[in-house]
Amino acid sequence: MSEHAHKRFWEIDSLRGVAIIMMVLVHLRYDLVYYGGHGGPLLLAYGFWRDFARATASIFLFLVGVSLTLSRARVSKAQGTDSGLFSKYLKRGLTIFGWGMGITVVTWVLLREGAVWFGILHCIGASIILAYPFLRLRWPNLFIGLALIAAGAVLSQRTYSFPWLMWLGFIPERLGSVDYYPLLPNFGIVLIGIFAGNLLYAGFERRFPWPDASHLVPVSALSFLGRHSLAIYLIHQPIIIALLSLTGIIKPGFV
């Protein structure tokens, strides 16, 4: 097997690990507010925690774009071509989107009005598939990405009477979803990640001077979290809720 199949960039894994910790903090705060009564919902809907949650999602989405360029560059360097990659991205995207649909089912059963219809996993899964035609581009991705972010900002200024385009960014009236990340503006963040990946890691090589910190314990720990981000995402909420219930911070049977 080629050495490129094992090569990883520790700064990418570590940044994803930071995002994982941020995500756990966001969901811990959510559980304390909604299930434990520790503060009001406005603490999550406005101000610091809203911005913190958005920043967390933006890091994940940006790294989706960067990681797609690394995957393509690794295959191209090892095989001399990137043909056949679409089926890989299609499978990966559908798998993650499928996990998102699983969360839709679970949250609909538990939360009803707060169900996740198009959350971060739906967005990432769809973005992986949609990103394929953009992987060879560099500067156009920056401008298209900024345009999509601007379009999403415009759409978010009002709500709409129909729910069918909520996945795109047309926010339906009385949306109560606890996790909502439509393609506009979020696919734009993925495209900017692709731009950055193609600029900074062209040819599957780091194109900027960077000291090796991968041997440091905190960096290794963050990298481990980053390499297992999907598994952690899927299991962390039941673990948080179980621990909070066992310690009496929230009451069993809160749902």
- 123-171 pLDDT per residue, tens: 999 999 999 999 999 999 999 999 999 999 999 999 999 999 999 999 9
pLDDT band at 254 (very low <50, low <70, confident <90, very high): very low
Average pLDDT along the chain: 91
How far apart CA 29 and CA 170 sit, in angstroms, is 27
Q: Does pLDDT of 82 surpass 70?
A: yes
Q: E-strand spans in 81-175? A: none
Encode 65-80: b = buried (16+ Cβ within 10 Å), e = exposed.
Answer: bbbbbbbbbbbbeeee
Amino acid 169 reads: G
Give the pLDDT score at 45.
Answer: 62
Q: Is 172 helix (H, G, I), strand (E, B) or coil?
A: strand
What is the pTM assigned to this prediction? 0.92
pLDDT of 135: 96
Reported as a pLDDT band with limits 50, 70 and 90, residue 1 is very low
Kindly tell me if the per-residue pLDDT of 6 is higher than 80: no
Three-state secondary structure string covering 31-69: HHHHCCCCCCCHHHHCHHHHHHHHHHHHHHHHHHHHHHH
pLDDT at 192 over 80: yes
Q: What is residue 82's DSSP assignment? A: -
pLDDT(176) > 90: no
Give residue-wise pLDDT tens across range 17-57.
999 999 999 999 888 887 776 665 555 566 888 899 999 99
Q: What is the pLDDT of residue 7?
A: 81
d(CA 54, CA 179): 11
Angle between helical axes of 183-200 and 47-79 (0-180°, round to 10): 50
For position 40, what pLDDT does the model report? 59
**% of the chain beyond a pLDDT of 90:** 75
Percentages helix, strand, coil for the chain (3-state, rounded to 5) are 70, 0, 30
Domain boundaries, the chain: 3-246
* More confident: 67 or 39: 67
Contacts of 138 (CB under 8 A, 6+ apart): 195, 198, 199
DSSP E strand stretches across the chain: none
Q: How many CA atoms lie within 13 A of 196 on its CB side?
A: 16
Are 169 and 183 contacting, i.e. CB atoms less than 8 angstroms apart?
A: yes
